Structure 1
Amino acid sequence: MTERQSPGRYESPTERMQAWTEGSTLHIRFNNVAKHNALSVDMWQAVPPLLAQAEKDDGIRLVVFSGAGDKAFVSGADISQFEDMRAAREAVKVYEAMAEEALMSIYRCAKPTLASIRGYCIGGGVNVAISCDIRICADDAVFGIPAARLGLGYRLSALKNLVNLVGVGAAKDLFFTARRIDAAEAKSLGLVTRTASVDKLPELLAEYTMAMDQNAPLTIYAGKRIMQEILKDDADLDGEMCRQLILDCFNSEDYAEGRRAFMDKRKPVFRGK
Structure 2
Amino acid sequence: MEMAGEARLQASRELVWDALNDPSVLQASIPGCESLERTADNEFTATVVSKVGPIKARFAGKVTLSNITAPKSYTLTGEGSGGAAGFARADIEVSLDALEPTVTLLRYGVKANVGGKLAQLGSRMIDAAARKSADDFFALFEKQVDGLAATAAPAVNGAAFDVEALMMPVTEEPVVVNAPAVAMPAAALAAQADFAPSAPAAHAPHLVPPAAVQPSAAGYQAEVMDVLMSEKIKVWISDQVAVVTLNRPNSRNAMTYAMWLALPSIMAALDRNPDVRAVILTGAGKDFCAGADIPEFEKVRADVAQATAYEVAVDACCDAIAKISKPTIAVLRGYCLGGGAHLAMSCDFRFAAYDAMFGIPAARLSIIYGVKGTRKLLSLVGLPQAKRILYGAQRFDAAHALRIGFVDQVAGSAAEKDGTSTSIWERIFGAKRRPADGDPMAEARAFATSLAGNAPLSMGGAKYLLNGMAMGTGVLDLARSEALIAAAAGSDDYREGRAAFAEKREPKFQGR
After TM superposition, the score normalised by the length of structure 1 is 0.92
Amino acid paired to 1:253 = D
Distance 1:111 1:10, change over 3 A: farther
Distance 1:235 1:153, change over 3 A: closer
Distance 1:42 1:235, change over 3 A: closer
Cα offsets for 1:89-117 (capped at 9, x unmatched): 22212222221211111111122211011
The structure with more helix, counted as a fraction of residues: 1
Distance 1:107 1:260 in 2: 32
Equivalent residues of 1:13, 1:46 under 8 A apart: no
Distance 1:235 1:182 in 2: 35
Aligned partner of 1:234 among 462, 467, 473: 473
Amino acid paired to 2:375 = K
Aligned partner of 1:134 among 317, 340, 349: 349
Distance 2:382 2:359 in 1: 16
Aligned partner of 1:253 among 476, 488, 492: 492
Q: Which residue of 2 aligns with 1:9?
A: 161
Q: Which residue of 2 aligns with 1:151?
A: 366
SS in 2 for 1:9: coil
Cα offsets for 1:134-179 (capped at 9, x unmatched): 1111111110000001111221111011111111111111111111
Cα offsets for 1:188-228 (capped at 9, x unmatched): 11111111127432331122221122111110001001112
SS in 2 for 1:115: strand
Amino acid paired to 1:48 = P
Amino acid paired to 2:506 = K
Distance 2:476 2:377 in 1: 20
Aligned partner of 1:97 among 299, 312, 324: 312
How many aligned positions are there? Answer: 267
Aligned partner of 1:265 among 489, 501, 504: 504
Distance 1:236 1:57 in 2: 27
Return the offset for 1:129. 0.3
Distance 1:170 1:206, change over 3 A: same
Equivalent residues of 1:10, 1:20 under 8 A apart: no
Cα offsets for 1:22-51 (capped at 9, x unmatched): 121121101111111111122212201101
SS in 1 for 2:288: strand
CA RMSD of aligned residues (A): 1.9
Amino acid paired to 1:30 = L
Q: Which residue of 1 aligns with 2:284?
A: 68
Q: Which has the higher contact order (CA 8 A, sep 6+)?
A: 1
Return the offset for 1:80. 0.6
Q: Which residue of 2 aligns with 1:59?
A: 275
Could you tell me the percent identity over the aligned residues?
34
Amino acid paired to 2:299 = D
Equivalent residues of 1:135, 1:192 under 8 A apart: yes
Amino acid paired to 2:469 = I
Aligned partner of 1:160 among 375, 382, 390: 375
For the pair shown, the structure with the greater C-alpha radius of gyration is 2
SS in 2 for 1:164: helix
Distance 2:289 2:474 in 1: 36
Q: Which residue of 2 aligns with 1:25?
A: 241
Equivalent residues of 1:217, 1:272 under 8 A apart: yes
Q: Which moved more, 1:166-175 or 1:10-19?
A: 10-19
Return the offset for 1:235. 4.4
Distance 1:33 1:161 in 2: 26
Distance 1:267 1:244 in 2: 27
Return the offset for 1:21. 1.0
Unaligned runs of 5+ in 2: 1-68, 70-158, 164-227, 413-435
Distance 2:342 2:397 in 1: 17
After TM superposition, the score normalised by the length of structure 2 is 0.50
2:340 equivalent to 1:125: yes
Amino acid paired to 1:43 = M
Return the offset for 1:14. 4.2
